[in-house]
Amino acid sequence: MKDCGSHYCAGLWGHFHKRDLSRHQVPPRVDAGRDVHLKLAMMQSRKYKDLYAPISSTRSSTSLILLTVFRSSPAKMHAASVLAMLLAAPLALAAPSLYPHLSYRAPTDNVKCPIVLDGRVPTNNSKTPTVFDTSNALFNPDYVKGNNLTWSQILKFPATEPSRFDGPAYAAVEVTISDRSIFQKQNGFRRAGLQFAKDSPQDSSDEGIKTLHFSVKQDPTRPLNLTHEYLNVWHEAADYSNNQIQFQVGTLIDNAASKKNNFKILDRAGKQIWSIPIDHKKWQNFAIKLDYTKNETTVFYSAGNAKLARVAGPTSVDLAGGGQFQLGILKKPTGTSDVVNAGYQEPNLNEGQIYGGLFVEDSANDCVSL
């Protein structure tokens, strides 16, 4: 397995111990006969380590400025000298870096491989949820949701830290369900499932080797009722006959002995591939590698911002039949054998599942973002 974890590298600081930094000085400013020199240098210079002062730090670069004041008597420094230094500092910071090849590269979203389907929500879109009610670059605006509901009524954007594969550029999105979450005439279900905008029943995302990424987090104000069975993430065959892979939680109707407090990854026959208890505090990150050439799946997992590790597989599965991904909530009823059309759902429903880092990547050459 190629190491495809965090793919940024902090810029090298270099060795400046023996360099004469005077040739990198900014032209001096003179105020009342006192020279104020602004020198740019890197933090690791031991010769000047007592003089540096951090002035600005951003995600993309770190600026350090050395202030060295040459004057005949420290006691004679007055307000004019201080003012000159303050006025000069922004000019120095605005100037191009003297060492651009050593600039610090901030942490990114940890994605290593080519993205085939992208459902990561830019932070700007989280402020204007109505963008998802009409054609957009991320999700199908029409499916799968309650009749007469719009996505701007369903999706929430909680104030939480970004997931491992979102980084600062993307926002968490919460899929919610209510009493109105009835799709078509499926009165047994309460459901809302996002579909990638570019995901069609037969496309390149169902060929070769692909990896589905998603992270989940729990909303204490919209808890799931784990006496029910939930289908949260799945890949449904093009003929709607079954799901080749499914991510579930709660009490499974066909397997009441399963641990309801565990997330479970199942194959199309309902056989469990792997499970993990719900973490009610941290992000939980999942990557499901789907090898359509060998009919195999491999599962990767981590909690919080930790690097993912392989936890199951390769496992033989039947991935035939094309189809589409769904990510959200499908809550099944209790007390019925006809789960699609009948059964009990408690009233005044207000439940949600927070998602982040939604994308499908090309895992050719064994590439998986960890």
Domain coordinates of the chain in residue numbers? 21-102, 115-366
- CA distances to 224, 239, 357 from 220, rounded to whole Å, are 9, 37, 20
Taking the alpha carbons of 140, 189, 349, 166 in that order, is the dihedral positive or negative? negative
CB neighbours of residue 24 within 10 Å: 14
pLDDT category of residue 15 using cuts at 50, 70 and 90: very low
Whether 351 contacts 180, CB under 8 Å = no
Residue 152: φ, ψ to 5°? -70, -20
Of residues 127 and 228, more confidence is placed in 228
pLDDT band at 1 (very low <50, low <70, confident <90, very high): very low
pLDDT digits (tens, 9 = 90+) for 66-107: 333 333 444 444 444 433 433 344 433 333 333 333 222 234
Paired strand residues for 53: 65
Q: Are 231 and 252 in contact (CB under 8 A)?
A: no
d(CA 171, CA 297): 28
Pick the CATH number of 115-366 from 2.60.120.1160, 1.10.287.110, 3.10.20.740, 2.60.40.10: 2.60.120.1160
Residue 339, pLDDT score: 96
Q: What is the pLDDT of residue 248?
A: 98
Q: What's the pLDDT tens digit per position in 121-143?
A: 999 988 899 999 999 999 999 99
CA angle 292–297–300, rounded 5-degree value: 135
Q: Whole-angstrom Cα distance, residue 195 to residue 84?
A: 58
pTM metric for this prediction: 0.71
